[in-house]
A and B are shown apart, each in its own frame.
Chain A
Amino acid sequence: MSETTTQQNEPVSRGYWSDAFRRLRRRKLAMVCFIIVLIYAAMAAFVGIVETETFKKIFKLDVPIVRWNEQVGPSYQKPMAQYDFKPEQSETKVKGWSLFGTDFLGESTLRKTLYGVKTSMLVAFCASIISIGIGVPLGALAGYYRGWVDETIVWFYTTLGTIPYILLLMAFAVALRGREFFGVEIRGAPAVYLAIGLTSWVGLCRLIRGEIIKRKESEYVLAARAMGCSDFRILFSHLLPNVFHIILINFSLRFVSFIHAEVILSFLGLGENDKPSWGAMIDAARTELARDVWWEMAAATAAIFLISLALNIFSDALRDCLDPKLRID
């Protein structure tokens, strides 16, 4: 009995990650936001999977919600409004309604908005991976080796950083669009995430470089060096795992800005043109406001607002929990 009491009074030893997630779980609002982000991600994955020919063949299912290019009613029907509609190639009229109304081609705004989730999440995810894939190794190499390696990388990212981001992004989007790499034509979403990913690694690179400079003289690095570990091993097995939380925080913080970048590019006609995206929806709705067609604009902006808010709150909470300096209990 006394042994058990002693065990209970002993402070529980937690690892860095389990402690961080314990703190995160205590934040109710952050968890709600996390669930919203998960729902968006699940929706994107669902749309991505069920629209593939393989899925349709295996499960013999044609899920209506991903048929965004199907005419479901007359042009510009208000949300929830009932209408009579004669589908193309049909002789008879049918009654119908659409939750978020229809666009100029009579396509469902709801389906387009849901498909836009996939476009935005896919672009933001892939752009984040590209950005991390460039920024982290370059920052690590610059910080670890210093000297001419550092100078070259710093010169390169400083030069890139002097160009206004949105102009650089547009220039990359235009330059990449329609180009062929290894026989594959870059158009649509890949052109967008490549443009965003290739232009947005500078901040992360700078951050990782600073962290590596700070940590490369740490005792555990010196110990590893004394044991004869190679530079590669020290860098990728010892140093990078210790700055992983920075990458994670950065990933979550930048994810939302990548969604916005995709929306901006699509709005400007430089993004996904063949498939629905929120930016393209807002662009189309911009002129349609004059004819009181507000629902396309409302649906796209609401979708952007929700994911932006959720990601921002969640990212802030994640940073607070992962960064030892910001931990508040």
Chain B
Amino acid sequence: MNGINGTKWILGLAAAMLAVGCAKKGDSASKDEMILCPYLPSRIQTLDPGNARDMYSMEVAAHIYEALYVYHYLKRPYEIIPLLAEDLPDISPDGLTYTIRIKKDVHFQDDACFLDGKGRELKASDFVYALKRIANVKYASQNWAPFDGKIVGLDDFREYTKGFKKQWDVDYSRPVEGLQAIDDYTLQIKLTRPWPQIVEIVLTDTSTTPIPHEAVDFYREDIIRHPVGTGPFKLKTLQPSCFVELVRNKNWRGESYPSEGEPSDKENGFLDDAGKPIPFADRIIWRVIEEDQPAWLLLMRGNIDAMDELRGIPKDNFDKAVTVERTLTQSLIERGLKLQIYNDPSIYWVGFNLKDPVLGKNLPLRKAICRAIDRNRFIDLFTNGRAMPAHGFVPPGLDSYDPDIVQSGYSKYDLAEAKQLLKQAEQIQGGAIPKLNLAMPGTDTLYRQYGQFFQRQFEQVGLELGIDYMDWPTYMERANKGQCQMFMNGIVAGCPDAIDFLEMFTTKSFAPGANKFFYSNPAYDALYDKVRVMQSSPERVEIYRTLEHMAMDDYPAVFILHRVAYTLGHDWYKNFKPQLYSHGLCKYRRVDVKQREEYPALLKKLEREGK
């Protein structure tokens, strides 16, 4: 056990060094300042919203930039409310024209990019500019895919930009029929076909937030480090691999904390601040902590406020944090930590490349592999039970989730049946099944453990499996070119609608789109085309479920699990209600500064008591 104590000392020392190294700004804060101390498990790539796609960049950017709409912080089921928009959009009867009025007297933060250094007023043309920028081929935005073919004239504008050498040379005043600022406060979007999810998918997304053209012209490539937004915070310090510091934007128009929520919100204290002006915090300091153990130790020392939505409790610390009954352990209760558990609408799978000559034409083989994977063991080993076995690919929490899909037996673990199916598969193959290969999108310990797990599962039915561990860019390149025979991946719902999950199996979405399975079924495509323009209704839910069954019948993947999120926060971290579809939630959160200051004394007391 001495070895363990030694390790704790070393980890503790590393965490303390990290805390000292990264928190020097926070240490110099005045006593009255309220500072939020969340953390990021990965360095952020960019603070340019038009090209931010990784969740950590979006998380930070969403505090600086604001979208037209946002999900209500407390209400469930999720409800969309205006943020920069004055009200919900006016939609024409044919569902093709969206007219959106924009709030007046909204100003960008003060910045050197403006003539007098004072942030100017937001106009509808800023939204037009932001969307045209995403369409600019030379800008190479990662956020173009949802717009492809959907807005009248935007694809033509994209074609037009191909003629330029640099993104700066493009003339953004060139009109786009489907994207117009009617006046300074009215934006009009015309669609090529109905797109009922436009508000949920793109108008709430950080990518479509307005950015002043002055900032882009002024900072050019450096715009990724000089965000200029309308949000409640502005950037003070950016050290992408160490920490990001935001301070209050004094130009922000101001908002109040919500006064309505779920029935349980009152007893959970989420309505204690109802009607109070937000943001509560003066500063936010995200530390970038890539390793689990230092992050865990910093949480225990009170240097970070919570293990929030971005990363839950590390698997190797889980048993010390949560009991078998799914409550906090006594030791953590004494430290004043609070646990929240909720369904994370996600799906993780081992996908089959249906263009592959071995797997593509061999349904019994794909089915046999699905029967050979023990999803419950995977969940026990890698998530400490923090997941639900996936019986289909639409996750629980979405209205189109089919609770009866388990009866269809897609996720059945049955080795005898798997072996039986393999005999059929060998007849189709014309001999023994050759060694199969699974591509892993990472090389670290966890991915290697995943790899070992799948190798053992395949061995049980006599299949040989090789694992190709690769970094993310290599993985994506190979998956997009159809060079991975099998691949491990997963997605999390971006909005409370299953359309993203269904789109993964359409022929039009072949890689580099979302369909890396290269699954193609004309009947599925036809039904998808019908449903994607339908407004939310019970009929749409039924069609969603039918589509899910159609794809599942062809076994395009081994769907493994839907995550259940466990977040852990200190008692002083108030209004910490998980919100699945929005970023930029720190404006609602508050810290009881006095309680946080007392924490070191509490730790000393617990240490004296040997706890």
Chain A residues near B (Cβ < 8 Å): 69, 71, 75, 88-89, 104-105, 178, 187, 269-270, 273-274, 280, 283-284, 286-292, 294, 297-298
CA distance A71 to B381 in the complex (A): 14
Is B180 on the interface with A (CB-CB < 8 A)?
A: no
Q: Which chain B positions have C-beta within 8 A of A69?
A: 455-456, 459
CA distance A16 to B15 in the complex (A): 57
CA distance A187 to B466 in the complex (A): 10
A-B contact pairs, 26 of them (CB 8 A): A69-B459, A75-B381, A104-B449, A105-B381, A178-B468, A269-B443, A269-B445, A269-B469, A273-B448, A273-B467, A273-B469, A274-B467, A280-B448, A284-B445, A284-B448, A284-B449, A286-B445, A287-B292, A287-B293, A287-B316, A288-B316, A289-B3, A289-B4, A290-B293, A290-B317, A291-B320
Interface centre among B7, B319, B445 (most CB of A within 10 A): B445
Is B444 on the interface with A (CB-CB < 8 A)?
A: yes
Interface centre among A105, A283, A288 (most CB of B within 10 A): A105
Other A-B pairs beyond A269-B445, A269-B469, 17, CB < 8 Å? A69-B455, A69-B459, A187-B466, A269-B444, A273-B448, A273-B451, A273-B467, A284-B448, A286-B445, A287-B314, A287-B445, A288-B316, A289-B4, A289-B7, A290-B296, A291-B316, A292-B4
Is B219 on the interface with A (CB-CB < 8 A)?
A: no
Q: Are B448 and A89 in contact (CB under 8 A)?
A: no
CA distance A71 to B455 in the complex (A): 12
Q: Are A105 and B415 in contact (CB under 8 A)?
A: no
Q: Which chain A positions have C-beta within 8 A of B451?
A: 273
Is B331 on the interface with A (CB-CB < 8 A)?
A: no
Is B460 on the interface with A (CB-CB < 8 A)?
A: yes
Q: Which chain B positions have C-beta within 8 A of A288?
A: 316
What 6 pairs between A and B have smallest CB-CB spacing?
A: A269-B443, A290-B316, A291-B316, A289-B7, A287-B316, A283-B445
CA distance A30 to B425 in the complex (A): 59
CA distance A270 to B451 in the complex (A): 14
Q: Which chain B positions have C-beta within 8 A of A291?
A: 316-317, 319-320
Is B452 on the interface with A (CB-CB < 8 A)?
A: yes
Counting contact residues on chain B (CB < 8 A from A), the size range is 20 to 34
CA distance A291 to B443 in the complex (A): 22
Q: Are A297 and B448 in contact (CB under 8 A)?
A: no
Is B453 on the interface with A (CB-CB < 8 A)?
A: yes
Q: Which chain B positions have C-beta within 8 A of A280?
A: 448
Q: Which chain A positions have C-beta within 8 A of B415?
A: 88-89
A305 smallest CB distance to B (angstroms): 13
CA distance A283 to B456 in the complex (A): 20
Known: A71-B456, A288-B316, A290-B317. A297 touches B444 (CB 8 A): no
Q: Which chain A positions have C-beta within 8 A of B320?
A: 290-291
Known: A89-B415, A274-B455. A294 touches B448 (CB 8 A): no
A304 smallest CB distance to B (angstroms): 15
Known: A287-B316, A288-B316, A290-B314. A297 touches B3 (CB 8 A): yes
Q: Which of B284-303 contact A (CB under 8 A)?
A: 292-293, 296
Q: Which chain B positions have C-beta within 8 A of A283?
A: 445, 448
Partner of A105, one of B314, B453, B468: B453
CA distance A261 to B444 in the complex (A): 18
B293 smallest CB distance to A (angstroms): 6
CA distance A290 to B317 in the complex (A): 6
Which residue of B is nearest A289, CB measured? B7
Q: Which chain A positions have C-beta within 8 A of B317?
A: 290-291
CA distance A88 to B293 in the complex (A): 33
Which residue of A is nearest B3, CB measured? A294
CA distance A297 to B467 in the complex (A): 24
CA distance A14 to B4 in the complex (A): 54
Q: Which chain A positions have C-beta within 8 A of B443?
A: 269-270
Known: A287-B316, A290-B317. A269 touches B4 (CB 8 A): no
Which residue of B is nearest A288, CB measured? B316
Which residue of B is nearest A185, CB measured? B466
Q: Are B460 and A89 in contact (CB under 8 A)?
A: yes
Known: A104-B449, A283-B445, A288-B316. A88 touches B460 (CB 8 A): yes
A89 smallest CB distance to B (angstroms): 6
Q: Which chain A positions have C-beta within 8 A of B455?
A: 69, 274
B463 smallest CB distance to A (angstroms): 14
A88 smallest CB distance to B (angstroms): 6
Q: Which chain B positions have C-beta within 8 A of A105?
A: 381, 449, 452-453, 456
A86 smallest CB distance to B (angstroms): 12
Q: Are B296 and A269 in contact (CB under 8 A)?
A: no
CA distance A268 to B316 in the complex (A): 20
Which residue of B is nearest A283, CB measured? B445
CA distance A292 to B317 in the complex (A): 10
B251 smallest CB distance to A (angstroms): 45
A116 smallest CB distance to B (angstroms): 14
Q: Which chain B positions have C-beta within 8 A of A104?
A: 381, 449
Q: Which chain A positions have C-beta within 8 A of B3?
A: 289, 294, 297-298
B359 smallest CB distance to A (angstroms): 20
Which residue of B is nearest A89, CB measured? B415
Q: Which chain B positions have C-beta within 8 A of A178?
A: 468
CA distance A27 to B35 in the complex (A): 67
CA distance A289 to B460 in the complex (A): 29
B59 smallest CB distance to A (angstroms): 24
CA distance A120 to B115 in the complex (A): 66
CA distance A280 to B444 in the complex (A): 10
Which residue of A is nearest B317, CB measured? A290
Q: Which of B1-28 contact A (CB under 8 A)?
A: 1, 3-4, 7
CA distance A284 to B315 in the complex (A): 13
Q: Which of B306-329 contact A (CB under 8 A)?
A: 314, 316-317, 319-320
CA distance A274 to B454 in the complex (A): 11
B321 smallest CB distance to A (angstroms): 11
Q: Which chain B positions have C-beta within 8 A of A269?
A: 443-445, 448, 469
B469 smallest CB distance to A (angstroms): 6
Q: Which of B364-419 contact A (CB under 8 A)?
A: 381, 415
CA distance A288 to B467 in the complex (A): 22
B307 smallest CB distance to A (angstroms): 14
Q: Which of B464-501 contact A (CB under 8 A)?
A: 466-469
CA distance A291 to B292 in the complex (A): 13
Q: Which of B582-601 contact A (CB under 8 A)?
A: none
A32 smallest CB distance to B (angstroms): 26
A21 smallest CB distance to B (angstroms): 40
Q: Are B316 and A294 in contact (CB under 8 A)?
A: no
Which residue of A is nearest B453, CB measured? A105
Q: Which chain B positions have C-beta within 8 A of A270?
A: 443
Which residue of A is nearest B7, CB measured? A289
Which residue of B is nearest A71, CB measured? B456
Q: Are B456 and A294 in contact (CB under 8 A)?
A: no
CA distance A287 to B316 in the complex (A): 7
Q: Are B460 and A294 in contact (CB under 8 A)?
A: no
Which residue of B is nearest A295, CB measured? B3
CA distance A294 to B8 in the complex (A): 12
Q: Which chain A positions have C-beta within 8 A of B449?
A: 104-105, 284
A170 smallest CB distance to B (angstroms): 12
CA distance A291 to B467 in the complex (A): 27
CA distance A130 to B314 in the complex (A): 43
Which residue of A is nearest B446, CB measured? A287
B35 smallest CB distance to A (angstroms): 28
CA distance A288 to B293 in the complex (A): 10
CA distance A71 to B466 in the complex (A): 19
A76 smallest CB distance to B (angstroms): 10
CA distance A69 to B7 in the complex (A): 28
B448 smallest CB distance to A (angstroms): 6
B219 smallest CB distance to A (angstroms): 34
CA distance A283 to B469 in the complex (A): 15
CA distance A104 to B448 in the complex (A): 12
CA distance A270 to B415 in the complex (A): 33
B418 smallest CB distance to A (angstroms): 11
CA distance A229 to B453 in the complex (A): 62
Q: Which of B423-460 contact A (CB under 8 A)?
A: 443-445, 448-449, 451-453, 455-456, 459-460
